[in-house]
């Protein structure tokens, strides 16, 4: 059984930080084959601790959700405002031992439900082409490739994927 809850406690953000650390390690490992320097990946996209995650995703508009499978932490997803008209998905990760159980789908549905409450019109996501499972998940939720909405260093521009969809 999958349950989704909004992160709110120190313990929740410690769990989320562990998932974000694992996501960072995966991003570095897979990026290496594409000539992506680990330092750039970590500096731009990873390296948060539980306190910085709580500051970023502990507001009324920006939030982090944790998925649990039979009570065990299984994954996370973040959602934050982008400009005045969009919400952006961040930090999507499902622990490998829980993949294939529909957890990513349930996390995505939860952020869509929350994003619709924001009154914004667009959902955005930025990922890497080598994170193929992530790209497939976003495409399954109706995301389409779009022009970049963040500046990225030249060293990683060849792997960056920007996607959007209406809410």
Query: Cα–Cα distance between 89 and 72 in angstroms, integer?
Result: 23
The answer to whether the beta carbons of residues 78 and 90 sit under 8 Å apart is yes
Number of domains in the chain: 1
Q: What is the pTM of this model?
A: 0.95
Q: List all residues 6 or more positions away from 40 whose beta carbon is below 8 Å from its beta carbon.
A: 153, 155, 156
The answer to whether the beta carbons of residues 118 and 87 sit under 8 Å apart is yes
Give me the pLDDT at residue 68, please.
98
CA 46 from chain center: how many Å? 11
**Reported confidence tier of residue 47, pLDDT bands at 50, 70, 90:** confident
Q: Let me know if 45 is exposed, middle or buried by CB neighbors in 10 A (0-12, 13-18, 19+).
A: buried
pLDDT tens digits, one per residue of 110-138? 999 999 999 999 999 999 999 999 999 99
Maximum distance among all alpha carbons in the chain?
Answer: 43
The answer to whether the beta carbons of residues 23 and 96 sit under 8 Å apart is no
Q: Which residues constitute the domain of residue 130?
A: 2-166
Query: Cα–Cα distance between 145 and 123 in angstroms, integer?
Result: 12
What is the average per-residue pLDDT within 34-48? Answer: 87
Q: Tell me, what CATH number does 42's domain have?
A: 3.40.630.30
Query: Cα–Cα distance between 164 and 122 in angstroms, integer?
Result: 7
pLDDT tens digits, one per residue of 139-159? 999 999 999 999 988 889 999
pLDDT > 90? residue 88: yes
pLDDT > 90? residue 85: yes
Residue 78, token pair as written in the block: 């973040």
């Amino acid at each position: 059984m999958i349950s989704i809850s909004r992160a709110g406690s120190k313990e929740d953000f410690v769990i989320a930080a562990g998932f974000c650390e694992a996501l960072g390690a995966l991003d570095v490992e897979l990026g290496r084959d594409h000539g992506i320097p680990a330092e750039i990946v970590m500096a731009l996209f990873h390296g948060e601790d539980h306190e910085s995650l709580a500051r970023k995703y502990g507001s009324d508009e920006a939030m982090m959700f944790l998925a649990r499978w039979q009570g065990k932490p299984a994954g996370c997803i973040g959602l934050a405002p982008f400009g005045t008209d969009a919400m952006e998905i961040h930090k999507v990760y499902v622990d490998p031992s829980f993949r294939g159980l529909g957890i990513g789908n349930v996390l995505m549905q939860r952020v869509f439900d929350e994003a619709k409450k924001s009154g914004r019109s667009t959902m955005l996501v930025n990922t890497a082409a080598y994170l193929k499972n992530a790209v497939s998940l976003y495409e399954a939720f109706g995301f389409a490739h779009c022009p970049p909405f963040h500046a990225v260093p030249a060293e990683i521009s060849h792997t960056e994927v920007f996607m959007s969809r209406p809410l």
